[in-house]
């Protein structure tokens, strides 16, 4: 029984550093009309990365 708990503890400690961090946010500008949007991924070919990364979905922090 002690061996099983040892493996559970080892597995927990091994996978703890693999926890995912939140994705960053970026400010994108449309090449067509200059509109700005804050997204985690590129909205497409017609957009240019302006600033980033940010921690919030308003692209302020």
In terms of DSSP bridges, do strands 25-30 and 36-39 run parallel, antiparallel, or are they unpaired?
antiparallel
Mean predicted confidence (pLDDT) in 25-51: 97
Mean predicted confidence (pLDDT) in 16-21: 68
Mean predicted confidence (pLDDT) in 12-17: 64
Q: What is the pTM of this model?
A: 0.67
Q: Closest Cα to residue 54, out of 34, 32, 39, 33?
A: 39
**What would you report as the CA-atom Rg of the chain, rounded to the nearest whole angstrom?**
20
């Amino acid at each position: 029984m002690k061996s099983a708990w040892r493996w559970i503890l080892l597995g927990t400690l091994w996978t703890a550093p693999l926890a995912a961090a939140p994705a960053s946010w970026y400010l994108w500008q449309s090449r067509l009309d200059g509109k700005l949007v804050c997204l985690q991924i590129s909205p497409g070919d017609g957009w240019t990365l302006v600033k980033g990364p940010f921690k919030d979905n308003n692209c302020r922090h």
